[in-house]
Amino acid sequence: MTGRLPDFLGIGAQKAGTTWLFKMLNFHPEVAFPAGKEVHFWDWQRERGIDWYAGLFARAPADRKVGDITPGYAAISPGGIAEVRRTMPAAPLVFIARNPIERAWSAALMIARWGLMYPRELSDAWFLDVFRSGQSQVRGDYAGCLERWMAEFPKEQFLVLLHDDVVADPRGVMDRVCGHLGIDAAIPRGWPDARFAERVNAGDGEPLRESLRQPLRDLYAPRVAAFSRLIGRDLSHWLR
């Protein structure tokens, strides 16, 4: 194999703060992302082969930890996760979860923009079809995603973060990230407040339609309860 494999993976969730995590870690002098954000090897480009993947990270300085933050990895198959485990058995894993109602709305707005559509022109039925699609539901089933990954990797290799905490206490979150990845936590402690003040998912823009709020509550209530049990944290405010 020519090159090197990532030292850590950010596996998701989509529209939950992974871009913020990428930006913060990119400022850290002990971390490098030579392949950029969202490499999509383990979900979209596996057929290119592990040598191609390793080659993406070959030019990184030897004294830096290299990462691959691709939120789509949360939703890969059990077989795909088993392959990650065989290939990168000791890699620390980072997962950020956002209120799945907000996440689903944010993702739907992104899909609308990809289609060059104005959200105000789209019906409730269009949004409900997106919310009920298989991909949307898998990406919002945090407990299901993590349970599939935890069937292969030990729990101590996971750092599970909440978007709520990224917004409320970004410094504290970054401290935890540094500890999990084994990089110097003192460096971000010296960063100016303005660096941490960058809004997370600032591009969502359009507020959630009230007509869609209850259908989304009904859709995600069981998933929120399951995730709350998994991480041992009360998340009932996500449904209010």
Q: Where are the domains of the chain?
A: 8-239
Q: Which residue has the higher pLDDT, 179 or 198?
A: 179
Residue 197 binned pLDDT confidence (cut-offs 50, 70, 90): confident
30-42 mean pLDDT: 97
CATH number given to 8-239: 3.40.50.300
What sign for the dihedral angle of Cα 166, 171, 172, 176?
Answer: positive
CA separation for the pair 115, 137 (Å, rounded): 20
Contact 114, 179 (CB under 8 A): no
Phi-psi region of 205 (alpha: psi -120 to 50; beta: other; left: phi over 0): left
18-35 mean pLDDT: 96
Percentage, residues of the chain above pLDDT 90: 92
Residues in the chain: 240
C-alpha 70, offset from chain centre: 7
pLDDT tens digits for 94-113? 999 999 999 999 999 999 99
125-151 mean pLDDT: 96
Residue 117 binned pLDDT confidence (cut-offs 50, 70, 90): very high
β-pair partners for 126: none
As a whole number, the mean pLDDT across the chain is: 94
